[in-house]
């Protein structure tokens, strides 16, 4: 156990030092010489202070991401090898004999510990955003979101975990397939209710107040054969200065949403370009493809988790204090393996997402035919979020679901020239 703890801590520190060196010394965010002086060059639309702040803020934000993810793995691993998970299970069994009750008590312990231990990274992220003028959220509002997030995740995941443990007890060999079959309607259900049930827990949504702009957006929707009769705005200015807009939900619960920061800081033509981009996701059925790919990936993922859990328990079950796959103590290992697999597949998922975003940019250009507004939109997005125009390769691989601003602006500049 001591060896396992020592090596895990040593590997985490080494990884942290490598990431710090990579982000601050081992790579450069400068744009290629060929693009200097063009509209993609941040020096043409940011002043010297904004350029400096964008580099500092982006690197710090990336560092926190790359440190937080393996820290989550480290916490789950230590909960196992230090016997904490076993103590949680024993405590739950002492409190009640009811299996569902044991699952609920155990999972509450596990959720509380992991949430509390993850708070320092969330706190640092909040403080960094505040110090660089990105976040406008009060401490009380930030803490409220943390509490809401905890209980929403706990409620959803308790249902998932209770079902999972029941399936494992019923069949240790086929549980993964039954879990996948049940996940299909559950995934569709969550996607359907998210816009009208989950999102309003965090922010206030209302119909777009600017009626003239609303009609122009709905005209775009009509041109794209989108059966939309409303556009929503959300009061994100209470939390951030960043800009955003999105399409979420499926079927009758689909929503086109604009952040109020976007309404306040962008021109009408820029907003229309963003809206055309978001409508492209609906027209090209990207949301449905995302749901379908999630279902397909979960099939492969659950099978791999099943095989990996069997192997680990057979080889190191004693060290990890896991007797059988059906014991509650297996849950940290389940979350650890699924998180590692999710992280490993994220570059492929991000690549597909970037392709969809490129298609949406092209669609928006075809609809609006306003290259100037499109370029200025991405420049404004870079300035308000203090994001790097040309991030390091490792960052793009694991974090970027959209093309980099360098790629998006240069694409727009080349659009229509061929």
- Residue indicated by tokens 């044991």: 102
Q: N- to C-terminal Cα distance for the chain?
A: 63
Measured CA to CA, the distance from residue 88 to residue 108 in angstroms comes to: 9
Give the pLDDT of the chain (418 residues) as one tens digit per residue: 788 889 999 999 999 999 999 999 998 888 999 999 999 999 999 999 999 999 999 999 999 999 999 999 999 999 999 999 999 999 999 999 999 999 999 999 999 999 999 999 999 999 999 999 999 999 999 999 999 999 999 999 999 999 999 999 999 899 999 999 999 998 888 877 777 777 777 778 888 888 899 899 888 888 877 777 778 898 888 889 888 887 776 666 667 888 899 999 999 999 999 999 988 988 888 888 888 999 999 999 999 999 999 999 999 988 888 988 999 999 999 999 999 999 999 999 999 999 999 999 999 999 998 999 999 999 999 999 999 999 999 999 999 999 999 999 999 988 766 5
- The set of residues, in sequence order, having a beta carbon less than 8 Å from that of 362 and lying 6+ positions away, is 415
- The set of residues, in sequence order, having a beta carbon less than 8 Å from that of 393 and lying 6+ positions away, is 27
pLDDT of 248 reads 72
Q: H helices within 284-330, ranges in order? A: 286-320
pLDDT of 418 reads 53
Q: Which helix (H) or strand (E) holds 248?
A: strand 245-248
Q: Are 12 and 5 in contact (CB under 8 A)?
A: no
Q: Which helix (H) or strand (E) holds 124?
A: helix 99-131
Measured CA to CA, the distance from residue 278 to residue 53 in angstroms comes to: 29
Which residues in 240-274 are b (16+ Cβ under 10 Å) and which e?
bbbbbbebbbbeeebbbbbbbbbbebbeebbbbbb
Measured CA to CA, the distance from residue 346 to residue 333 in angstroms comes to: 20
Measured CA to CA, the distance from residue 230 to residue 210 in angstroms comes to: 12
Q: Are 392 and 17 in contact (CB under 8 A)?
A: no
Helix axes 331-368 and 286-320, enclosed angle (nearest 10)? 160
Q: Around Cβ 61, how many Cβ atoms within 10 Å?
A: 21
Residue 256, strand partner residues: 247
- What is the model's pTM? 0.89
Measured CA to CA, the distance from residue 350 to residue 353 in angstroms comes to: 5
Measured CA to CA, the distance from residue 115 to residue 343 in angstroms comes to: 19
**Is 278 labeled as catalytic in the residue annotation?**
yes
Measured CA to CA, the distance from residue 152 to residue 2 in angstroms comes to: 36
pLDDT of 417 reads 66
Which one of 278, 357, 376, 407 is the catalytic residue?
278
Q: Beta strand 232-234 with 255-259: parallel, antiparallel or unpaired? A: parallel
- Going from N- to C-terminal start, the domains of the chain cover 2-17+43-202+286-414
Q: Are 364 and 374 in contact (CB under 8 A)?
A: yes
Question: Distances in Å between the alpha carbon of 138 and those of 130, 142, 240?
Answer: 9, 6, 10
Q: Are 88 and 106 in contact (CB under 8 A)?
A: yes
């Amino acid at each position: 156990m001591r060896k396992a703890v020592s090596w895990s801590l040593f590997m985490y520190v080494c990884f942290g030092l490598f990431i710090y060196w990579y982000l601050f010394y081992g790579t450069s965010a400068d744009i290629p010489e060929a693009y200097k002086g063009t509209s993609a060059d941040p020096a043409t639309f940011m002043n010297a202070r904004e350029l400096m702040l964008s580099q500092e803020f982006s690197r710090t934000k990336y560092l926190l991401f790359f440190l937080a993810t393996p820290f989550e793995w480290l916490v789950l691993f230590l909960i196992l090898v230090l016997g904490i998970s076993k103590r949680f299970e024993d405590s739950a069994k002492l409190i009640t004999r009811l299996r569902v009750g044991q699952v609920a008590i155990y999972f509450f312990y596990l959720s509380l510990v992991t949430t509390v231990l993850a708070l320092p990274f969330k706190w640092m992220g909040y403080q960094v955003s505040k110090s660089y003028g990105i976040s406008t959220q009060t401490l009380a509002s930030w803490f409220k979101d943390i509490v809401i997030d905890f209980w929403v995740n706990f409620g959803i995941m308790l249902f998932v975990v209770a079902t999972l443990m029941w399936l494992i007890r019923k069949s240790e060999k086929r549980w993964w397939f039954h879990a996948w079959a049940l996940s299909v309607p559950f995934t569709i259900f969550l996607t359907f209710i998210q816009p009208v049930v989950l999102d309003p827990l965090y922010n206030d949504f209302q119909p777009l107040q600017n009626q003239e702009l609303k009609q122009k957006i709905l005209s775009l929707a009509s041109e794209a054969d989108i059966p939309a009769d409303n556009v929503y705005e959300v009061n994100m200015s209470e939390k951030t200065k960043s800009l955003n807009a999105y399409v979420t939900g499926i079927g009758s619960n689909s929503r086109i949403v604009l952040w109020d920061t976007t309404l306040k800081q962008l021109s009408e033509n820029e907003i229309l370009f963003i809206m055309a981009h978001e409508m492209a996701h609906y027209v090209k059925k990207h949301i449905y493809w995302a749901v379908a790919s999630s279902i397909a990936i979960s099939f492969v993922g659950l099978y791999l988790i099943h095989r990996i859990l069997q192997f680990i328990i057979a080889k190191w079950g004693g060290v990890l204090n896991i007797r059988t796959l059906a014991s509650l103590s297996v849950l940290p290992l389940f979350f650890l393996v699924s998180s590692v697999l999710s992280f490993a597949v994220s570059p492929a998922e991000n690549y597909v997402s970037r392709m969809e975003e490129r298609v949406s940019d092209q669609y928006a250009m075809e609809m609006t035919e306003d290259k100037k507004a499109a370029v200025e939109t991405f420049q404004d997005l870079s300035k308000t979020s203090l994001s790097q125009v040309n991030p390091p390769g490792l960052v793009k691989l694991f974090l970027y679901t959209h093309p980099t601003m360098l790629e998006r602006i240069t694409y727009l500049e080349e659009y229509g020239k061929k």
